[in-house]
Structure 1
Amino acid sequence: MFTIAALMALGEPLISIPKVSRGYPVLGFFTWRWISTLGLDHMYSAPIFLGMLVLLAASLMACTYTTQIPLVKVARRWSFMKSDEAIKKQDWFVLQVFMKGPSLYAFKGLAGRFAPIGVHIAMLLIMVGGTLSATGSFRGSVTVPQGLNFVMGDVLAPVGFFSFQQMLLILKFTLTDSPWIIMTVEKSHSFTLIFHYATLWERALQVTKDGEGPFNLAMAPIKINGDKKLYGTFLPVGDTNAPNVKGISMLARDLQSIVVYDLEGKFAGIRRPNSKLPIEINGMKIVIEDAIGSTGLELKTDPGVPVVYAGFGALMLTTCISYLSHSQIWALQNGTTLVVGGRTNRAKNQFPDDMNRLLDQVPELIKKNTSVVSEQS
């Protein structure tokens, strides 16, 4: 557990800090290549972290099977002591004189013995959920212009341990929610365990090419000169699967005037949205129909989240139950003497007082001459 905590403490800051420059390595050799090779930038899905979780899970299961379960079996078994010397060896005992009485064994707080097993199971659930998150999560982001549909399977991609997979077959997506949802920034919605967030609101252009379209082109903000923003978009032309895709670039500062560049990046002209005036570029007639709104969406699906939440809920409950004291009491009659002893795993200072108050309520048929009370630590 200390090793896992150390790995988490080491990997958590490296997830968000900038990459270490190769030209300025830390301690003369520690560069971003080392961090990437060791998986420190994605610690929760790194093989070394998952391996430590497997070792911890194996240790917990071994402890549960070899220690906790036998203790519960012993605690549930009625065990009568056959000699008063065995009772006197307990943490607490008292001698009182009664006329007669049978042998006795009693216990309470058996849930306190079961709780450690529940704690181990809860920790295993948390680790299983974390492993599911690391191996079965999908995430993606997309900017969707107004009126544009997109396929979730084209956006979502595996993350974590299986992120090296380049191709993924999505067999079926089902939507059970209402088709009309009012989305706000940072408020999540879900479609059958696929959560999506509206991250930002931006602009998009509706463009026609040689009468085809309109094409909805999302405009991405480009920061220049400090806080000033320049919006840009790109209309691909030709084979979009080619390694060097060419297209028409469009830039705007206030979305009132659109600057258009040809396939070679040369200035081609300026048009206003809704002007309906075509601009000819490399034999193609381009018309900027309108400037519309668009939103950025962050999509993710994580099958381990319900398991992790269930594990933490069970961990909190079983941890509270584990603080219950498991107390045991033995009584053995030897002639007219009844030897009573007991022990508890918690509240050891309170246990003798509780026993004395309990024995004070027991009626004595023969008046005793002496009463001896002693405690053994």
Structure 2
Amino acid sequence: MKSRSAILKLDVADSLPRARIQDLGILLMGAGYEVFLSNSALYGFKGLAGRLAPIGVHGALLLIMAGATFSSTGAYRGSVTVPQGLNFRMGDVLNPNGILSRPISDFATEVHVNKFYIDYYENGEVSQFHSDLSLRDKDGKEVLRQTISVNHPLRFGGVTIYQTDWSISALQVHKDGAGPFNLAMATIQGGDKKLFGTFLPLEDDSGSTKPKGISILARDLQSVVLYDQEGKFVGVRRPGSNRPITVDGVNIVVDDAIGSTGLELKMDPGVPVVYAGFGALMLTTIISYFSHSQVWALQEGTTVVVGGKSNREKLGFPVELNRILDSIPEIVSREHVETNEAVSLEDDDISSLSENQFEINKMKVLS
């Protein structure tokens, strides 16, 4: 700015009657400003990142939107419930999301559930559930084995397998020493907790068409509850305990409860873009809170007109600028020099101050 009136219209402005613009520039550099001096005009700034960061914020938002769009049109998703010991192909579960979805060679990979097990709290509630998975190529060779759990997925190629749910698929029992028999378990609706049930049929010589058998219920893999054909409670047994229980004259041994793992598969090429967008958004948002401060000054004879503004630091900037202005050495007259042994500079000297003199004064002030 080369207009006195324009500088005085700034947020913070002042006029120093006996000062040098070079001294102002040196003090501004000491305060962290980048200073540009051209003849009798000065411009200084600091915190440019705070000025540019809002542009980065908007760029990050656009990146998030682009990633979300890519996810909605180019992803694959699918879910499956698999009993322990069985397997499935990734491509049979994954379904395309949109027109940009393209299959990959990893879709031919086979997933085998080696084992499913549950961790419990001391009160018997389910704490965590795990699936031991093996990935096999088209020739049946195992290429990866990993145990997954909630919040600890398996990643292979571009596909991610999440542990999301569980159930009980079957109950293995012996009846009067015969067996084992695999009884399919079904989910019983109602209530806020999981409940599974099955039915062990018994021979009926009475000719009645009403089913005769033993009902077995379970909430988890730890224990099962048995009821007779009248619906009366008989007892509780832990799978694998080998303890027989007699129900309606039949000796039953519960060998095992076979769990099923609920898996969700996802191939989402837009996730890295979305994550990058959110990372950039957090960083640029923080940087945008840094203040961008600017100072203009003009030398008019022995008077320096100074003004400045800041986009964030509305309270701290005036204090900082006033502190700098208070530190500028005052030019005194020749008479004052003779009596006080000071050094003065005439108007012509101000305009002709060389770069070497400027650097010398800078070193003195900074020291």
So what's the TM-score if we normalise by structure 1?
A: 0.50
Please say if residues 218 and 294 of structure 1, whose CA atoms lie closer than 8 Å, have aligned partners that are also in contact. Answer: no
Q: Which runs of 5+ in 2 are unaligned?
A: 22-39, 110-134, 137-141, 173-181, 200-213, 219-223, 225-255, 334-367
Q: C-alpha separation between the residues in 2 aligned to 1:186 and 1:231?
A: 31
Please say if residues 99 and 366 of structure 1, whose CA atoms lie closer than 8 Å, have aligned partners that are also in contact. Answer: no
Q: Which runs of 5+ in 1 are unaligned?
A: 1-80, 207-216, 233-250, 257-289, 368-377
Give 2:12's aligned residue. Answer: 92
Give the secondary-structure state (helix, strand or coil) at the position aligned to 1:346.
coil
Q: C-alpha separation between the residues in 2 aligned to 1:201 and 1:353?
A: 67
| Equivalent residues in 2 for 1:261-276, closer than 5 Å | none
Residues 262-281 of structure 1: per-residue CA shift (max 9 Å, x gap): xxxxxxxxxxxxxxxxxxxx
Q: Against the structure 1 CA distance between its residues 315 and 220, is the aligned structure 2 distance closer, same or farther, given a 3 Å change threshold?
A: farther
Please say if residues 185 and 196 of structure 2, whose CA atoms lie closer than 8 Å, have aligned partners that are also in contact. Answer: no
Select which of 305, 315, 336 maps to 1:339.
305
The one-letter code matched in structure 2 to 1:120 is: H
Please say if residues 171 and 185 of structure 2, whose CA atoms lie closer than 8 Å, have aligned partners that are also in contact. Answer: no
Matched, 1:158 2:124: no
| Equivalent residues in 2 for 1:269-288, closer than 5 Å | none
The one-letter code matched in structure 2 to 1:87 is: I
Q: C-alpha separation between the residues in 2 aligned to 1:146 and 1:100?
A: 85
Residues 246-270 of structure 1: per-residue CA shift (max 9 Å, x gap): xxxxx995699xxxxxxxxxxxxxx
Give 1:263's aligned residue. Answer: none
Please say if residues 111 and 321 of structure 1, whose CA atoms lie closer than 8 Å, have aligned partners that are also in contact. Answer: yes
1:158 is displaced (CA, Å) by 1.9
Please say if residues 97 and 366 of structure 1, whose CA atoms lie closer than 8 Å, have aligned partners that are also in contact. Answer: no
Percent of counterpart pairs with the same letter? 54
Q: Against the structure 1 CA distance between its residues 254 and 338, is the aligned structure 2 distance closer, same or farther, given a 3 Å change threshold?
A: closer
Give 1:196's aligned residue. Answer: 161
Give 2:67's aligned residue. Answer: 129
Give the secondary-structure state (helix, strand or coil) at the position aligned to 2:304.
strand
Q: C-alpha separation between the residues in 2 aligned to 1:89 and 1:218?
A: 87
Q: C-alpha separation between the residues in 1 aligned to 2:47 and 2:146?
A: 51
Matched, 1:229 2:196: yes
Q: C-alpha separation between the residues in 2 aligned to 1:228 and 1:201?
A: 9
1:230 is displaced (CA, Å) by 3.3
The one-letter code matched in structure 2 to 1:230 is: G
Q: C-alpha separation between the residues in 2 aligned to 1:349 and 1:196?
A: 53
Q: Against the structure 1 CA distance between its residues 100 and 195, is the aligned structure 2 distance closer, same or farther, given a 3 Å change threshold?
A: closer
Matched, 1:357 2:277: no
| Equivalent residues in 2 for 1:134-213, closer than 5 Å | 134-159=72-97, 161=98, 170-173=104-107, 179-185=144-150, 187-198=152-163, 199-204=165-170
Please say if residues 96 and 339 of structure 1, whose CA atoms lie closer than 8 Å, have aligned partners that are also in contact. Answer: yes
Give 2:54's aligned residue. Answer: 116
1:353 is displaced (CA, Å) by 1.5
Select which of 262, 269, 284 maps to 1:303.
269
Residues 191-232 of structure 1: per-residue CA shift (max 9 Å, x gap): 2242222321433599xxxxxxxxxx9956232687763359
Q: C-alpha separation between the residues in 2 aligned to 1:348 and 1:98?
A: 28
Q: Against the structure 1 CA distance between its residues 338 and 200, is the aligned structure 2 distance closer, same or farther, given a 3 Å change threshold?
A: same
Residues 7-66 of structure 1: per-residue CA shift (max 9 Å, x gap): xxxxxxxxxxxxxxxxxxxxxxxxxxxxxxxxxxxxxxxxxxxxxxxxxxxxxxxxxxxx
The one-letter code matched in structure 2 to 1:223 is: I
Q: Against the structure 1 CA distance between its residues 231 and 192, is the aligned structure 2 distance closer, same or farther, given a 3 Å change threshold?
A: farther
1:294 is displaced (CA, Å) by 3.5
Q: Against the structure 1 CA distance between its residues 224 and 329, is the aligned structure 2 distance closer, same or farther, given a 3 Å change threshold?
A: closer
The one-letter code matched in structure 2 to 1:314 is: A
Give the secondary-structure state (helix, strand or coil) at the position aligned to 1:90.
coil
State the structure with more CA Rg.
2
Please say if residues 145 and 218 of structure 1, whose CA atoms lie closer than 8 Å, have aligned partners that are also in contact. Answer: no
Give 2:337's aligned residue. Answer: none
Q: C-alpha separation between the residues in 2 aligned to 1:128 and 1:180?
A: 34
Q: Against the structure 1 CA distance between its residues 231 and 142, is the aligned structure 2 distance closer, same or farther, given a 3 Å change threshold?
A: farther
| CA RMSD after TM alignment | 3.7
Please say if residues 144 and 218 of structure 1, whose CA atoms lie closer than 8 Å, have aligned partners that are also in contact. Answer: no
Q: C-alpha separation between the residues in 1 aligned to 2:183 and 2:283?
A: 49
Q: Against the structure 1 CA distance between its residues 302 and 220, is the aligned structure 2 distance closer, same or farther, given a 3 Å change threshold?
A: farther
Q: Say which structure is richer in strand.
A: 2
Q: C-alpha separation between the residues in 2 aligned to 1:93 and 1:218?
A: 88
The alignment covers a number of residue pairs equal to: 222
Q: C-alpha separation between the residues in 2 aligned to 1:88 and 1:103?
A: 14
Give the secondary-structure state (helix, strand or coil) at the position aligned to 1:314.
helix
1:171 is displaced (CA, Å) by 4.0
Q: Against the structure 1 CA distance between its residues 218 and 310, is the aligned structure 2 distance closer, same or farther, given a 3 Å change threshold?
A: farther
Give the secondary-structure state (helix, strand or coil) at the position aligned to 1:323.
coil
